[in-house]
Amino acid sequence: MVNLNGFFSAFFNPDIAARYLPDIIKGFWITTGLGVATIVAGLILGLALAIARARQNMWLSGLIVAFADVFRALPPLVVIIMFYFALPYLGVSMSSFLSTWLALTLVLAAFAEETYWSGILALPKGQTEAARSTGLSWFQTMRLVVLPQAIRMTLAPLTNRVLAITKNTALGSVVALSEILNAAQAATSNAGNPTPLTLGALAYLVLFGPMVMLARWLERSWQWRR
């Protein structure tokens, strides 16, 4: 038999929601700051690595490929735990925010580098040769000819990867980062009621819903037309 009163009392209790909403809001802003910092740093680092790899220096390219392979292979949770718990033994201590941000940034950069690189390789070599023949330098050719087209071609997979990795901000709860999930779990334990988890789910929708819609709009507006 359906018990709607029990369902709403358990997951949508207004008294408990009002009591713990400030904690969820605080976690929301921490998650937002972490997500924005990860996206900006990860995409910039990934683009820089792809440009450096395009220089086709054997040793530099080898290091970049090794970096990308390692951080694409490791689960983000493992990287976060290693940074937070293992590095202090080597004399390097990180806060929960810094360790989570650095781990997610490096993972995103690894995927972004490979995505940008695939776009660079997809361009016909004749375009680069034609640009160089007009007197453009190598960096000018990359900035004005290669990268604008490569980024457009890789926009769809890149935005999907950004969303997937940014949602891993919830893994920060493992190292006691007071983001949305951690705040919701702590509030649920204190209240003995899962209503704070419902608030956490709504907070994630408020945060990532617009990002999903923005990604879809970018894919439609900047899609590559051959």
pLDDT of residue 223: 60
Q: Residue 137 — φ and ψ, nearest 5°?
A: -75, 175
Does 150 score more than 60 pLDDT? Answer: yes
Does 225 score more than 60 pLDDT? Answer: no
Which of 6-15, 62-71, 132-141, 177-186 has the least mean pLDDT?
6-15
Does 114 score more than 70 pLDDT? Answer: yes
pLDDT of residue 50: 95
Q: Is 87 exposed, middle or buried (0-12, 13-18, 19+ CB in 10 A)?
A: middle
Grouping H, G, I as helix, E, B as strand and the rest as coil, residue 224 is: coil
Asked if residues 163 and 212 have their Cβ atoms less than 8 Å apart, the reply is yes
Which of 41-45, 176-180, 214-218 has the least mean pLDDT?
214-218
pTM score, whole prediction: 0.89
Does 226 score more than 50 pLDDT? Answer: no
pLDDT category at 3 given cuts 50, 70, 90 is low
pLDDT in tens, 22-33: 999 999 999 999
Where on the phi/psi map is residue 13: left (φ > 0), alpha (ψ -120 to 50), or beta?
beta
In the predicted model, what is the mean pLDDT of the chain?
88
pLDDT of residue 215: 77
Does 147 score more than 50 pLDDT? Answer: yes
Give the C-alpha separation, 69 to 219, whole Å. 27
What is the distance in angstroms between the CA of the first residue and the CA of the last residue of the chain? 58
pLDDT of residue 136: 83
Handedness of CA 10, 16, 17, 22 (dihedral sign): negative
Domains and CATH numbers, the chain: 19-221 (1.10.3720.10)
